[in-house]
Chain A
C-alpha cells in the first residue's frame, strides 16, 4: 500500500514539474510587453524600461526560468508583478477560501445526491421521474445564472445572506456560514444533479445482480441489503463522478467567486490572467495541479477501501 502511495506521489511530482515548465514557457511566449501592461498608457518608455529591469524581464527567458525554478523548489514562487505580494502568501490566503467552497459544495452534493439517487432507485414511479427531471434541469441551468438568481432572491430581496464577500470562520462562525451558503449552493446544484443520476443508475444496476438476490433470499433485512451492500457497491462509480465534480467545482469557483466577490483562487486567477501577472498565474497553476493530484490519490484510496477488488488490482 505504501509503495502504491509513494509511486502515485512520484508520478504526481513529475506531473507538477511538467505542468510548471510548460506553463512557464507558454505564458512567457504570449506575454507581450508586460512592463507596459503593468504601467498603462501614461508611462514613458524610460519608466517602462526601468520596470522591465526591476522585474528582470530584460534577461533571456531561459535565465529567468532557471532563477524561478531554483526558488520554486525551495518553496519561493516569486512575487506578484502587480501587488508585490509573495505568490505563496497571495495563494495561501485564498486557497482556504476556495477549498471551503469546493469542499462544502462536494459534501453537500454528495449527501443530497446519495439521498436523491437512492430514493429514486428504491421508490421508482413519480419520485424517480421528479428526481430525473430535476437532475436534467440542474445540469442544464448555467451556474452563473443560478448564482445571480440566488443573490437577488435570498440576499438582496430577502436579506437572509450576504450578497458579496467572505467572512473568515475564526472571525465569526455564523458570518462565515452566511457568506458561503449561497456560493456553495450555486456550485453544488449541477454536481448534485450529476452525482444523483450516477447513484440512481448504479443502484439499479447493482440491485439487479445475482448476489443481491442471494442476500435477500437468505432473509437479510431489506434495509441492510440496500444501505450496507447495494449502496456500498454502487458508491464506487458515484465516487469517481464526485471526484471529477470536485475538480470541475474548482473551475466553477472562478465564476462563483466573481459574482459573490469572494477572495478565493478563482478571483485571483481572473485578475492575474487578465493582467498578465505571470508569477501569480504560475503559482496558481501549480497549486491547482497539486490539488488535482491529491484529490485523485485520495479518491483511489477510497475506492480501494470501498471495493477490495480495486485494491487487489
Chain B
C-alpha cells in the first residue's frame, strides 16, 4: 500500500515537472519582445554559410545575421549606403568606385578594407552561389587604397548596385574563404554570431549579439534563433504555441484563422504563376512558333476562376511578367487577353489549326493536380489537347531550363527592376528562355535599358513589356500572395523583391 502511494506521488511530481518545464520552455523560446530575443520560422535551412557561395531569398535572414553587405536596399528597393558609404560610376558606366568604411572588423579580427572587399567580390563571382550571375559582368575588382574599391565591368550593368545589396554584396573575411569549416562557421562582420554549439544544422540556428558590431543601433535583439519549420502544421503549432515570432506562411489559407487569433499578417505579391511557352521557334511543338497560337492559349484561361480555385482568391490576376514594383509595369496590359474561348478558337482557325493540336506538358508533383486539371480543361475547350507527363520534383527545374519541354507551369519571382526581368525571362541567355532564342526587338530594347539615360531606359522598359505581352511567350495567371505572420509586438516591413523580410526590418513594435 505504501509503495503504491509512493509511486503515485512520484508520478504526480513527474507530471508537474513536465508541465512546469513546458511552460518555462514556451516563454524561453518564443516571446521575443520581453526577453530581447527574436525567433524566426524559416521554411528552409541555409544551403551554406560560405561567403562566396551564399544564397538569398528565404535564406537571407541567416546570411544577414552574420554578414554585412556593401550596400543596403530599402523595402521599396532604393539603394542605401552600408559598408560602402559613397559610390559613383564613370561616364561609360563600366567602372564603379566605392568609398568604404574604415571602422569595421570581421569576427576573426581581420579589418574590413578595400582589399578584403575586392577579394569578396571576385570570390563570389567565381563561387557557386545561385546568385553568382549578379556579378557576371564584373571583369575585375581592385583596391585603390585602404578604403576605395574599384569594380570594373565588361559592359554596363544596371543591376549591379542592387546586386550588391543582396548575396553578391556579402563581405566575409578572406582568411576564412578556404577553411574546411567555411560552410558551417561563417566569419563576417554582421550584427550576430552563429553559436555553432547551440545550433542543430538543418533544424535550429542560434545567433548571439556581436558585442563588437560597428552599428549597434541596428541590433534590435540580444539573440536570434531561426528555426526550420518546413511544413504548414509545424508552423501553425509553433505560432499558436508562442514558440516563434515571425513565420513565412506555407499555407496562406490559414492566414484568416491566425489573424483572428491576434497575429498580424503582412501579405505581399512577389511571385507570378504562369504558363511559360518556351518553344518560341516551334522546335518541339511547331504550332507554338505562330504568335496567333500563343495568343489563343492566352485567351483560353479564365484567370479569375483559376485564382479562386487554386489560391482561394489570394492574389491578383495579371497578364504580364513585369512585376508591380518594376517601372515597366502597366496595369492596362493585365487585360490584354481576357477570357474569350471564341476568340481563342478563331485565332487557332486563322493559324490553320481549327482542329486543334497537342501540347505536351510536364506535370510537377506539388501535392495537388488541380492546376493541371484546369489547364487540360481550359485548353481542351478551345481545341488544344494537353498531354501531361510526370516529372520528378528534383528534376523539374533542370528539365524546364534545359529545353526539354515546349511549355511549363511554374511560379517565379517577379524581379523589381526592368533590367533584371529582362535578364531572367527575355534575353538570349535568360534562364527562362531555355531555347535561347534571340529576338532583335528584345535585344535592342534591353540595350537601351542597359546603356540609355534614365528616361530612355524607362521608356524602353515600357515598350519591352508591351512587346512581350503581344508576343504571348508567357501566359501569366496571377500574382501569388505570400503571407508573413508575426506577433503583434513585432513590426515587420516587407521587401519589394524578397520573400523573407530583411532582418533589420523586423523590429520590436513601437
A contact set with B: CB distance below 8 Å: 30-34, 36-44, 46-47, 50-51, 54, 82-85, 89-90, 93-94, 148, 151-152, 155-156, 159-165, 167, 172, 174-175, 177-179, 181, 258-261, 263, 267-268, 270-271, 274-276
| A267 and B132 contact, Cβ closer than 8 Å, known pairs A40-B397, A164-B234, A261-B234 | no
- For residue B131, CB closer than 8 A to chain A, the reply is yes
Question: In the complex the two chains form, what is the Cα distance from A273 to B265 in whole Å?
Answer: 32
Known: A32-B394, A82-B47, A84-B182. 11 other contacts (CB 8 A): A37-B397, A41-B397, A44-B133, A50-B128, A83-B201, A151-B233, A159-B22, A178-B18, A259-B231, A261-B228, A263-B204
| A258 and B240 contact, Cβ closer than 8 Å, known pairs A83-B45, A84-B184 | no
B184 neighbours in A (Cβ, 8 Å): 83-85
Question: In the complex the two chains form, what is the Cα distance from A90 to B184 in whole Å?
Answer: 12
| A36 and B241 contact, Cβ closer than 8 Å, known pairs A271-B202, A274-B393 | no
Contact among B21, B183, B228, B237 with A172 in the assembled complex (CB-CB below 8 Å): B21
A50 neighbours in B (Cβ, 8 Å): 126-128
Are A174 and B401 in contact, CB atoms less than 8 angstroms apart?
Answer: no
B402 neighbours in A (Cβ, 8 Å): 33, 36
A174 neighbours in B (Cβ, 8 Å): 17-18, 20-21
A37 neighbours in B (Cβ, 8 Å): 394-395, 397-398
B227 neighbours in A (Cβ, 8 Å): 164-165, 261
The distance from the CB of B80 to the nearest CB of chain A, in whole angstroms, is 24
Are B130 and A43 in contact, CB atoms less than 8 angstroms apart?
Answer: yes
Are B202 and A83 in contact, CB atoms less than 8 angstroms apart?
Answer: yes
| A32 and B399 contact, Cβ closer than 8 Å, known pairs A83-B47, A156-B240 | yes
Contact among B20, B128, B230 with A54 in the assembled complex (CB-CB below 8 Å): B128
What are 5 pairs between A and B in contact, CB < 8 Å?
Answer: A41-B432, A43-B431, A159-B23, A159-B241, A175-B21
A82 closest partner in B (C-beta): B47
| A44 and B202 contact, Cβ closer than 8 Å, known pairs A37-B398, A174-B20 | no
Are B202 and A259 in contact, CB atoms less than 8 angstroms apart?
Answer: no
B424 neighbours in A (Cβ, 8 Å): 42
Contact among A41, A84, A163 with B238 in the assembled complex (CB-CB below 8 Å): A163
Are B397 and A177 in contact, CB atoms less than 8 angstroms apart?
Answer: no
A46 neighbours in B (Cβ, 8 Å): 132
The distance from the CB of B133 to the nearest CB of chain A, in whole angstroms, is 5
Most chain B beta carbons < 10 A, residue from A31, A83, A179: A83
Are B129 and A47 in contact, CB atoms less than 8 angstroms apart?
Answer: yes
B237 neighbours in A (Cβ, 8 Å): 151-152, 155-156, 163-164, 259-261
Are A261 and B18 in contact, CB atoms less than 8 angstroms apart?
Answer: no
| A163 and B231 contact, Cβ closer than 8 Å, known pairs A85-B201, A93-B201, A263-B204 | no
The distance from the CB of A94 to the nearest CB of chain B, in whole angstroms, is 8
A41 neighbours in B (Cβ, 8 Å): 397, 400-401, 412, 431-432
A40 neighbours in B (Cβ, 8 Å): 55, 130, 397
Chain B contacts with A in 253-267, Cβ cutoff 8 A: none
- For residue B29, CB closer than 8 A to chain A, the reply is yes
- For residue B26, CB closer than 8 A to chain A, the reply is yes
B238 neighbours in A (Cβ, 8 Å): 163-165, 261
Contact among B21, B22, B46, B431 with A42 in the assembled complex (CB-CB below 8 Å): B431
Q: Mark B30-49, 1 if CB is under 8 A from A, else 0.
A: 00000000000000011110
| A162 and B26 contact, Cβ closer than 8 Å, known pairs A83-B201, A258-B231 | yes
- For residue B338, CB closer than 8 A to chain A, the reply is no
- For residue B229, CB closer than 8 A to chain A, the reply is yes
A155 closest partner in B (C-beta): B241
Question: In the complex the two chains form, what is the Cα distance from A90 to B23 in whole Å?
Answer: 30
Are B431 and A44 in contact, CB atoms less than 8 angstroms apart?
Answer: yes
Query: How many residues on the B side are at the interface (Cβ–Cβ under 8 A)?
Result: 62
B109 neighbours in A (Cβ, 8 Å): none
- For residue B136, CB closer than 8 A to chain A, the reply is yes
Top 8 closest A-B pairs, CB basis?
Answer: A84-B183, A174-B21, A163-B241, A263-B203, A33-B398, A32-B395, A163-B237, A178-B22
Are A164 and B241 in contact, CB atoms less than 8 angstroms apart?
Answer: yes
| A161 and B50 contact, Cβ closer than 8 Å, known pairs A40-B397, A83-B183 | no
Q: Mark B372-407, 1 if CB is under 8 A from A, else 0.
A: 000000000000000000001111011111100000
Are A162 and B398 in contact, CB atoms less than 8 angstroms apart?
Answer: no
Chain B contacts with A in 213-233, Cβ cutoff 8 A: 227-231, 233
B229 neighbours in A (Cβ, 8 Å): 164, 261
The distance from the CB of A33 to the nearest CB of chain B, in whole angstroms, is 3
The distance from the CB of B498 to the nearest CB of chain A, in whole angstroms, is 13
Question: In the complex the two chains form, what is the Cα distance from A267 to B201 in whole Å?
Answer: 12
Contact among B47, B133, B200, B203 with A38 in the assembled complex (CB-CB below 8 Å): B47
Are B394 and A275 in contact, CB atoms less than 8 angstroms apart?
Answer: yes
Count of inter-chain pairs, beta carbons less than 8 A: 183
Are B25 and A164 in contact, CB atoms less than 8 angstroms apart?
Answer: no
- For residue B243, CB closer than 8 A to chain A, the reply is yes
| A43 and B233 contact, Cβ closer than 8 Å, known pairs A163-B243, A164-B243 | no
Are B395 and A47 in contact, CB atoms less than 8 angstroms apart?
Answer: no
B139 neighbours in A (Cβ, 8 Å): none
Question: In the complex the two chains form, what is the Cα distance from A171 to B448 in whole Å?
Answer: 61
Question: In the complex the two chains form, what is the Cα distance from A51 to B55 in whole Å?
Answer: 13
Are A148 and B22 in contact, CB atoms less than 8 angstroms apart?
Answer: no
Chain B contacts with A in 340-381, Cβ cutoff 8 A: none
| A47 and B234 contact, Cβ closer than 8 Å, known pairs A85-B184, A162-B241 | no
B233 neighbours in A (Cβ, 8 Å): 148, 151, 258-259
| A47 and B132 contact, Cβ closer than 8 Å, known pairs A32-B394, A83-B201, A274-B393 | yes
Are A177 and B21 in contact, CB atoms less than 8 angstroms apart?
Answer: yes
Are A271 and B45 in contact, CB atoms less than 8 angstroms apart?
Answer: yes
Most chain B beta carbons < 10 A, residue from A40, A54, A165: A165
A280 closest partner in B (C-beta): B202
- For residue B19, CB closer than 8 A to chain A, the reply is yes
Q: Mark B119-153, 1 if CB is under 8 A from A, else 0.
A: 00000001111111100100000000000000000
B201 neighbours in A (Cβ, 8 Å): 83, 85, 89-90, 93
B134 closest partner in A (C-beta): A42
Contact among B50, B130, B204 with A84 in the assembled complex (CB-CB below 8 Å): B50
The distance from the CB of A28 to the nearest CB of chain B, in whole angstroms, is 12
B432 closest partner in A (C-beta): A41
Are B22 and A161 in contact, CB atoms less than 8 angstroms apart?
Answer: yes
B230 closest partner in A (C-beta): A271
A275 neighbours in B (Cβ, 8 Å): 394
Are A263 and B21 in contact, CB atoms less than 8 angstroms apart?
Answer: no
B45 closest partner in A (C-beta): A83
Are B200 and A93 in contact, CB atoms less than 8 angstroms apart?
Answer: yes
B46 neighbours in A (Cβ, 8 Å): 83
Question: In the complex the two chains form, what is the Cα distance from A43 to B133 in whole Å?
Answer: 7
Question: In the complex the two chains form, what is the Cα distance from A47 to B26 in whole Å?
Answer: 43
Question: In the complex the two chains form, what is the Cα distance from A313 to B392 in whole Å?
Answer: 48
Are B132 and A44 in contact, CB atoms less than 8 angstroms apart?
Answer: yes
Contact among B203, B392, B400 with A30 in the assembled complex (CB-CB below 8 Å): B392
Are B17 and A165 in contact, CB atoms less than 8 angstroms apart?
Answer: no
Question: In the complex the two chains form, what is the Cα distance from A82 to B128 in whole Å?
Answer: 12
The distance from the CB of B14 to the nearest CB of chain A, in whole angstroms, is 8
B21 neighbours in A (Cβ, 8 Å): 172, 174-175, 177-178
A42 neighbours in B (Cβ, 8 Å): 130-131, 133, 424, 431
Question: In the complex the two chains form, what is the Cα distance from A275 to B55 in whole Å?
Answer: 15
A38 closest partner in B (C-beta): B47
